[in-house]
Amino acid sequence: MSLRVRAPAYELRDLHGASRAVAYLTLAAAPYVFVTSYIDPGVNLITLIVAGVISVLMAFASVLCFRRPTAVPRVSWFIAPILATSVVAGLNFATHDASTGSQLFYLWPILYAANFLSRRVLILNLLLVYAGDAATVFAVLGPRRGASDWVAMVLAMTMSATVVQSLRARADRLRDVLERQANADHLTGLANRRYFDDALVAEGAWARRTDGSLALLTIDLDHFKAINDTFGHAEGDRVLQAVADAMRKVAGETGVAARLGGDEFVMLRRMGRRAAVGVADALRSAIADRTDLLGGAPGVSIGIAVLPGDVSTVEDLVAASDAALYEAKTSGRGRVSVAGERHNVDQMPSFVPDPRL
């Protein structure tokens, strides 16, 4: 499994930031709607009542975004800039207001989309802003003056969106670098214990949700201390990197290969017991193919446990895999032991692993 996750086309980058942005908007809009309605000399009682209801609803929405953003439907954060653009365009058109001040209200949906939503959603919001403003300025100012005013607005909004999204993209790249550094083992490049712990919880939830099988392979190098003592720690590091390279080859697209520390490695894959034994065999073969190490290819002992076949929780999965590894080491090293069955892989018939098992 790659440490870098590709962002979806319709991602919400920051729920906390998006909820605060919407909360601030509705908090400011609530008194604005009521006050502007009240000071209108031609206002009647029904208009005041409607404005009051709208103001209360906006205030409630603001509190909800502040206190319980997770209770708001996810689609709402994508609808928010579209709704804001529609409201601004509708008010400007209804009041025949083509002034610069009225056009500045378009900045909120544009900056919101540029900061919290993906490029595809931002482009959609820009197109809506262009269309909404065109409907007003061409109707109020006429074709020639309206075209000049509209082009200026398009350039201003586009430049604002470009600058904000480029800054956000730079921040995302820096965050990705920090996340990779925090989640990767510096020597081997595999995932570290922190990443593995999170992945174990996530994959366990996947197994429960889909009734799928999850296999954990715990790998330990045989006589690693002797390698360090005989050939030096630099060669010991090369051996660890060789094992990591082999693990990357057999981890698969949905697998997690990690170094927990020292000479202890783990691999997590979505498969059953037979396929996991085949992966263990493939891993030992990949390690044995290394001919460039001073002491030759290292031997490895592997313990395998499967959820739900052997255990019912991810915590028990780790314990069962550790216990199987212990048996593999105490029964002669260089072996594979399977939780529940305790078979030596060398005594099992060879087969091509099927990931569906």
Which residues have a catalytic role annotated? 263
Label the pairing between strands 300-307 and 336-338.
parallel
- Residue pair 65/26 in contact by the 8 Å Cβ criterion: yes
With vertex at residue 77, the alpha carbon angle to CA 76 and CA 80, rounded to the nearest 5 degrees, is 80
Distance of alpha carbon 62 from the chain centroid: 27
List Cβ neighbours of 166 (8 Å cut-off, separation of 6 or more).
Answer: none
**Distance between CA atoms of residues 300 and 250, nearest Å:** 15
The residue type of 137 is V
With vertex at residue 111, the alpha carbon angle to CA 107 and CA 117, rounded to the nearest 5 degrees, is 140
**Distance between CA atoms of residues 221 and 230, nearest Å:** 15
Task: Please spell the DSSP secondary structure of 312-344, one letter per residue.
Answer: SSHHHHHHHHHHHHHHHHHTTSS-EEETTT---
What H or E segment, with its residue span, contains residue 260? strand 256-261
Find, among 113, 44, 51, 43, the residue nearest to 83 by Cα.
113
Find, among 279, 310, 303, 312, the residue nearest to 207 by Cα.
312
Task: Please spell the DSSP secondary structure of 135-198, one letter per residue.
Answer: HHHHHHH-HHHHHHHHHHHHHHHHHHHHHHHHHHHHHHHHHHHHHHHHHB-TTT-SB-HHHHHH
